[in-house]
Amino acid sequence: MKIEQAIVLRNEQIAHGIWRMSLVAPDVASAYVGPGQFISLLIDDSWDHLVRRPMSIAKINEDEVDIIYKIFGDVTDHFTKKCPGDSMNILGPLGNVFTDYNSEFAEPILIGGGVGLAPILNLYDACEKAVMIIGARSADEHFLNHKPDNSVYLTTDDGTAGIEGNVLTALKNMNLSENTILFACGPEPMLIAIQNYADEYNIRAQLSVESYMGCGIGLCQGCVINRQNGQVEQHSYHEKYSLVCLEGPVYESHEVRFD
């Protein structure tokens, strides 16, 4: 992992409330391992907002690193003010990666919702073949096209684009096989629904989870998630909780518990 002053190349709104930023960051890009990894950004040099913000990598193209972010507060609002040529301090690449998506016989289904699209798009680019489902509340939050012939499915809560319903509605109409692997990133209720679905049909799923991080590198011990097998002895360390920044953000569905 590296800390780098990256230069903003592009920063534009690509759908309602959703932005894409391309950064020139040769050090971080050269250390990149694969889809699932993230970077952690500082807003600026001031200490008003001192905690870095983790953002999944949406694409790596030579020395460029792309992120996709949704405006949901002060900090992301600050991000939208960045112009080409501005610098941003980034730390990365961090975290682990999705696995087995190109293994023999694998039939990957990629599912992204809300802020969770970035790693899913990145993974889609890396997949030799895949089905992808992207969910949003309405058409104006989508920037891709619904193309069932290419195995790209959009869903909207209000039916204004693609399939009416959520990503689960679309997923339930997919043919599953013993080789199906679900890869998902999105809001926690969506991940819980996918976890339950994977359990019910006994299929493998890899979930990229979100967590509030103080540092992103294992120092602060802040970003924990419950492990599924939370039954531990009276005295233990990292058996009940897992550090998302080091062991995640990608987990096999059966490893983690959301509550």
* Closest distance to another protein from the beta carbon of 142 (Å): 25
* Closest distance to another protein from the beta carbon of 16 (Å): 19
**71 near 115, Cβ under 8 Å?**
no
The footprint of another protein (CB under 8 A) covers: 1, 3, 42, 47-52, 211-215, 217-226, 232, 234-241
* Closest distance to another protein from the beta carbon of 77 (Å): 15
Closest CA to 162 of 194, 131, 136: 136
Q: Closer to another protein at the Cβ: 33 or 220? A: 220
Q: Closer to another protein at the Cβ: 57 or 94? A: 94
Q: Closer to another protein at the Cβ: 2 or 204? A: 2
* Closest distance to another protein from the beta carbon of 171 (Å): 27
3-state secondary structure of 93: strand
Q: Closer to another protein at the Cβ: 55 or 110? A: 55
* Closest distance to another protein from the beta carbon of 232 (Å): 7
- CA distances in angstroms from 13 to 25, 41, 63, 127, listed in the order given: 21, 19, 22, 26
Q: Closer to another protein at the Cβ: 15 or 217? A: 217
Q: Closer to another protein at the Cβ: 154 or 243? A: 243
Q: Closer to another protein at the Cβ: 48 or 178? A: 48
SS (H, E, C) 19-75: EEEEEECHHHHHCCCCCCCEEEECCCCCCCCCCCEEEEEEEEECCEEEEEEECCCHH
* Closest distance to another protein from the beta carbon of 49 (Å): 6
Query: What number of residues does the chain have?
Result: 259
* Closest distance to another protein from the beta carbon of 1 (Å): 7
Q: Which long-range contacts (CB under 8 A, 24 or more apart) does 69-72 make?
A: 69/18, 69/19, 69/21, 69/115, 69/118, 70/17, 70/18, 70/19, 70/114, 70/115, 71/17, 71/18, 71/19, 72/115
Structure tokens at 253: 């569905």
- Chain centroid to CA 86: 25
- Which are the contacts of 257, defined by CB distance < 8 A and separation ≥ 6? 225, 226, 227, 228, 230
